[in-house]
Structure 1
Amino acid sequence: MGRGYVVFAVSLLLLISTLKVADRELLAPLYDPVSRELGLNDLQFGAIRSATNIALIAGTLLFGLLADRWRRRDVVALGTLCWSAITWGTGQVRNFLHLLLARAGMSFFHSAYSTAAYPMLSDLVPRRSRGMVMGLAGATFAVGTVVALVVAALLGTANWRSPFIYFGLPGIILGLLLLLFVREPVRGGGEEEVMEAGGYAGRFSWAALRQTLRVRTALLVYLLDSCQGSTWWAFSFWAPAYLLRYHIAPDPDTAALALLPAVAGFVVGTVLGGWLIDRLRKRTERSAIWVSLISMAGALAMSVVVFALRDLTGVLTAGFFLGLFGYMVMPAINVILYDVVPPETRSSATAADGVIMSAFSALTAFSIGAVSHYVGLWQGLAEGNLRAGFQGATTVLLTGGLFVSLALLRTAPADMTALRRHVAARAVAAAPPDPPEA
């Protein structure tokens, strides 16, 4: 593959990821106009959120298995076309049931991207460049969120249906471009052994998947991703309420905007983390683990600072560095996972990671609310002690991520060596092209 083609293919996948995140985050800033026109209450909005989570888990399991057996390009393209059409259709909904089905369907097809595109990206670029590509992919989460907020602010007040229509059409175009102009990469194409041989003979099987799910490093990566993912989902949900309750932010609008410095830190952190992984890989194969260790330690320290501050300017400044350190781990997650998981089961392994993290995040969100409520009752507080629940969960999760990173330093070398042997044994010469017909 030529360099220009790789840049085009990777850029197209990153654009799709950005639009996917923007689609997902578009409903939250449009809460008021949507609820007024459709007559929705908080219970119904909560039901929509639960339905999207359930659909995401179901789709992750299905598309993860499908992507290991089918062309990943087609899985991503199918998902993109379907969720974009559903997003466009969301602009036409007339009641609660229509909106619930639309958002659940969108979430179901979103899972096609996460399970198929990341393994595809890992095969489009050499292992030595995987960190930066995964870092850029991680940055699309923050960029997509900002795009959703900006578009909703510009278009959503007067007519909340317009943003959904405008987001749906570009997705359909991107899905068609992917289907028409991007080729399915060779599985394992980013591994040196496969690059030299030209092909890979490994194929998905249930026995291979069972073996993958026994790899200690992969299981630790799932735990690390759950720790970091649950932390940032908790921040996105609870931070505005925390800033208001403790009078750090003067009003709800300011509390919502206070997340922007952290979002900027996310972008810088994930790109910096990917760059460091590739730079340090020249010295050690455990570069991604060292980056995750720096990330968890730095985020833990900055979280202490954030919760200790009481003025908004200080919180915003510390929040930027919290986001920076915290998101350095994002590219490390996939780099470590794909350094120990065979190419033929990477989509299924990615799906398992997504399911575990979703369950962990849901448990964390509930735990923060429960601790806040019951500690508040014990202390006689009217609103609960959100600091106890929020800071307590953050400290436990980031400390857990720190110890998991230390454990990875011990387990990863042997599993990385085992993967290289596995890939080398299945690297084969590429099949010659069919002769022209007479």
Structure 2
Amino acid sequence: MASYALIVLFAINLMNFFDRQIIGGVGEGIRREWALSDSALGLLGTVFTLLYAIVGLPLGRLADRTERRWMLSAGVFTWSLLTAASGIAANFSQLIVARLGVGVGEATCSPASTSLLGDLFPTTRRARAVAIWMLGLPLGLGLANGAGGWILQSWGWRKAFYIAAVPGIVCAVAALLIREPARGSAEDHAVGARRRAGNPFLLVLSIPTMLWIIVSGALHNFNMYALGSFVAPFLVRFHRMTFFDAGWVAAVVYGFSGIVGLVAGGALADRLYSRRVDGRLLVGTVSIVICAPLMFLALSRPAGDVFAFALLMGAGCGVMYAYYATVYSTLHDVVEPSLRGTAMALYFCAMYVLGASLGPVGTGLASDYFTFQAASKAGAVHPLSFTVLMSAELRSLVGEAKGFDLRALEPYRAQGLHTAMYIVPVLASILACVLFAASRTVTSDVKRLQDWMRRTNSEFRIQNSEFVQRRRKS
């Protein structure tokens, strides 16, 4: 049962990230067809993630109360249909609406999947199971970039959305065949659906390690989505690659490299956890400490040095993926079974409202700003303020009055995006500090949970014994 469920959950997670990242794979084609700015391109990711995060909170509570396989199947089916609908968008507004719908469907994936994994695998095997499930992340991102660039160059960006929708329908059917496990069945101390008294959201936020994990999620996802939106465009502009070549280099650098990080990170985290309770978070901390300078060195390579960029950025992204295997497992270590869907929803709310939603549009705004500065210094555009330039209401007026066209910025976009990408290693350095702080509180939080589950298990056995005795007497 557990093996089949893990395979299906992995496949669903792969399509989750494939359908999400396909925008990054074909985004440069969309931007050129509709003459969009980098800010607008980033906005496609932002609107998706904002609704994803908001809807994720009630869906997290639903994952704690309902049958998770049905919830998962409905979500996969919904986002697959709306991914196909993205391909028929006639303008930017219609594409945004379709992506909003994809966000609603995908918001079911993580709360339901992680809750199932927590009940299917014991604590000693959980990080490895989570790592296998999370392999869908690098594979989905990598395939979306690689296949997206190939489809974009061969048939145009719309076909990519049609093709992406098909496997999701198959996954929706496969999810219905998962056998629903009892909640808390994989724990050392069975507690069923019991939890502490109080507001579920406040109970989760009262755990110190969870607060650090939530902050780490925002920082990490800012970087992940900034890279996801702009690695392929960066390769096209700065390193002058074709869509096809940039897509597959981005696939290896940003996607497939994560396979090693996830598998090695999960195995190492489980091994170190067996020796010390803070072992998983220490593995995550060290991985980010290594990641930050590698990314900085990758971005410092000159235009055309694709091999060195790919080697350094691929290594940096690879170790960065260890974060998922370590942090997701730690969440299960400090939160009781009946609150894990809620905890994951809160975590994902921060990841996507503060992280993923700001990553693409924030990096896009920075790119537009540095692009404008470079163009202004070169005398290519009128030296208007950046705020006026980026105002949607005034942009057409500027075009009429000054003869300004956004296409005049194209020769300077490579320089602007290159400078903006340095945001990523800076935030990675801060993330390492946050994870280290979490490692200092996790031991006491794990002990608190184990003590509570031990007491609750004793009460459960006493109540069950009394119930059996009453049945015998009757």
Shorter-chain TM-score category? 0.7 to 0.9
For 2:252 and 2:365, locate their aligned partners in 1 and report how far apart those are by CA, in whole Å.
28
Secondary structure of the 2:276 match is coil
Q: Please, which of 246, 259, 270 is the counterpart of residue 267 of structure 1?
A: 259
Consecutive unaligned residues of structure 1, counting only runs of 5 or more, are none
The 1:368/1:284 distance shift into structure 2, 3 A limit, reads: same
Correspondence list, 1:344-355, <5 A: 344-355=338-349
Shift of 1:45: 6.0
2:337 is aligned with what amino acid?
P
Question: Post-superposition shift, 1:322?
Answer: 0.7
Report what 1:318 is aligned to: 312
Question: Which of 205, 220, 227 is the matching residue for 2:219?
Answer: 227
- CA distance in structure 1 between the partners assigned to 2:2 and 2:277 by the alignment: 24
Partner of 2:179: helix, strand, or coil?
coil
Aligned pairs for 1:19-30 within 5 A: 19-30=15-26
Mapping of residues 69-148 of structure 1, within 5 Å: 69-90=65-86, 98-148=94-144
Which amino acid counterpart does residue 452 of structure 2 have in structure 1?
H
User: For 2:199, what is the secondary structure of its paired residue?
Assistant: helix
Normalising by structure 2, report the TM-score: 0.78
Tell me how far 1:63 sits from its aligned partner.
Answer: 0.8
The verdict on how the C-alpha distance between 1:105 and 1:387 changes in structure 2, with shifts beyond 3 A counting, is closer
Quick one: distance in 2 between partners of 1:114 and 1:259? 25
Shift in CA distance, 30/260, structure 1 to aligned 2, threshold 3 Å: closer
Specify whether residues 91 and 304 from structure 1 end up closer, same or farther in structure 2 by C-alpha distance, changes over 3 A only.
Answer: closer
Matched AA of 1:191: E
Cα offsets for 1:335-374 (capped at 9, x unmatched): 1111111211111111111121223333344554555636
Question: Superposed, which structure 2 residues align to 1:153-232 within 5 Å?
Answer: 157-158=154-155, 163-179=160-176, 181-194=177-190, 200-203=192-195, 207-232=199-224
Q: Is it true that 1:62 corresponds to 2:92 in the alignment?
A: no
**1:423 partner letter:** M
Contact 1:286 1:413 in 2 (8 A): yes
Q: Gaps (5+ residues) in structure 2? A: 379-411
Residue among 279, 293, 297 paired with 1:305: 297
1:258 aligns to what SS in structure 2?
A: helix
The amino acid of 1:266's aligned partner reads: G
Deviation at 1:128, TM superposition (A): 0.7
User: Match for residue 390 of structure 2?
Assistant: none
Contact 2:145 2:251 in 1 (8 A): no
Map 1:289-438 onto structure 2 (within 5 A). Answer: 289-310=281-302, 311-361=305-355, 362-368=357-363, 373=369, 377=373, 381-382=377-378, 383=412, 386-391=417-422, 393-427=423-457, 428=460
Residue 379 of structure 1 and its aligned partner are, at CA, apart by 11
Query: SS at 1:26's partner residue?
Result: helix
Q: Which amino acid aligns with 1:24?
A: R
CA distance in 1, matches of 2:48, 2:443: 38
User: Percent identity of the aligned residues?
Assistant: 22
Displacement of 1:388 after TM fit? Answer: 4.7
Task: Sort the Cα spacing of 1:322 and 1:24 in 2 relative to 1 into closer, same or farther, 3 A.
Answer: same
Higher-Rg member (1/2): 2
Moved more, 229-238 or 60-69: 229-238
Q: How many residue pairs were aligned? A: 421
Shift of 1:239: 3.4
Letter of the structure 2 residue corresponding to residue 171 of structure 1: G
Residue 226 of structure 1: how far off its partner (Å)? 1.9
Cα contact 1:77–1:176 (8 A) shared by 2:
yes
Distance in 2 of aligned mates of 1:18 and 1:324:
17
1:241 Cα deviation after fit: 4.9
Cα deviation for residue 204 of structure 1 reads 8.4
Q: CA RMSD in A?
A: 3.3
Q: Distance in 1 between matches of 2:439 and 2:156?
A: 52
Change (3 A) 1:397 1:190: farther
Offset of 1:97 from its aligned partner? Answer: 5.5
Residue 116 of structure 1 deviates from its aligned partner by: 1.5
CA–CA separation in structure 2 for the residues paired with 1:34 and 1:236:
15
- CA distance in 1 between counterparts of 2:121 and 2:159 reads 37
Report if the CA contact (8 A) 2:223-2:424 is conserved. yes
**237 and 93 in structure 1: CA distance in 2 versus 1, 3 angstrom threshold:** closer
Deviation (angstroms), 1:57 = 2.1
